[in-house]
Amino acid sequence: MTSEVVEDEGEFYSKAEKYWKDVPATVDGMLGGYGHISTIDINSSRKFLQRFLREGPNRTGTSRALDCGAGIGRITKRLLLPLFKTVDMVDVTEDFLTKAKSYLGEEGRRVRNYYCCGLQDFSPEPNSYDVIWIQWVIGHLTDNHLSDFLRRCRAGLRPNGIVVIKDNMAQEGVIMDDVDSSVCRELAVVRRLIRSAGLQLLAEERQENFPDEIYHVYTFAMR
C-alpha cells in the first residue's frame, strides 16, 4: 500500500516533477541510463500488442492511441505511430513534450494532442482510444490515484479497446524510491488495483532479456 510509504502526498508529486525537470530530454534520460534496452523493450511490446490487433471479430482497432507518461515520445515514435492512425501524448514535463515535436520527425504530424499534465489530474476523452499505453509511470501515482486513473481510462476506451500497463514489479510489498519520488509495487498489489478500477485482466507477460540488475518488468492488458 502506498499509504504506508508515502508520508506527504503533495511532496510525493512535487518531488517527482522536480526530478524529471532535471533529466535530459533523450532516450537515455527517459530510461534512466538504460537507453540500450529500448529496442528490446519496443520489440516485446509490439509482439504483445499485435495479438490484440490481429484476432478475430473482437480485435482492437487501430484508429487512435494514448501514450501516458510519454516523455519525449520514445514509445509513440517506435511502437504507436507505426500501428495507429493518430496518437495523443500526455506527460507532466513540458520540456519533454516540446522535444517530442522534433524527436518524432515527419510522422509526428499524426500526434493530435500534447497534454502537459500529471496522470492524477488527467482524464482521457471518453470513448476515444483503441489503446491506452501506460509505461514506467504508475509508480508516480498513489494507490487511490492509480485506481481512479484506470477507471477514467476504462471510460476512455472505444469498443474492444484495451489499457496496457508495462512497469517494474517489486519482489515483495511496495518499495519507495526517494531519488525520483516513485514507488514499485509487487504483482499482487498491481493486480488488485486493476480489479479495483473495474478492469478485467486479459493478458500478463514478463519481459525477457532485460539486464539482471533491474526490477522484473511485466506487461498487462485489460479492459
Domains and their CATH numbers in the chain: 2-222 (3.40.50.150)
Is 49 known to sit in a ligand binding site? no
Nearest CA to 100 among 74, 120, 124, 80?
A: 74
Is 173 known to sit in a ligand binding site? no
- Dump pLDDT digits (tens) for 126-152: 999 999 999 999 999 999 999 999 999
Is 74 known to sit in a ligand binding site? yes
Is 119 known to sit in a ligand binding site? yes
Tell me the pLDDT band of 3, cut-offs 50, 70 and 90.
confident
**SS3 for 95-161, per residue?**
HHHHHHHHHCHHHHHHEEEEEECCHHHCCCCCCCEEEEEEECCHHHCCHHHHHHHHHHHHHHEEEEE
Tell me the sheet residues that pair with 168: 217
Is 93 known to sit in a ligand binding site? yes
Range 23-35 average pLDDT: 97
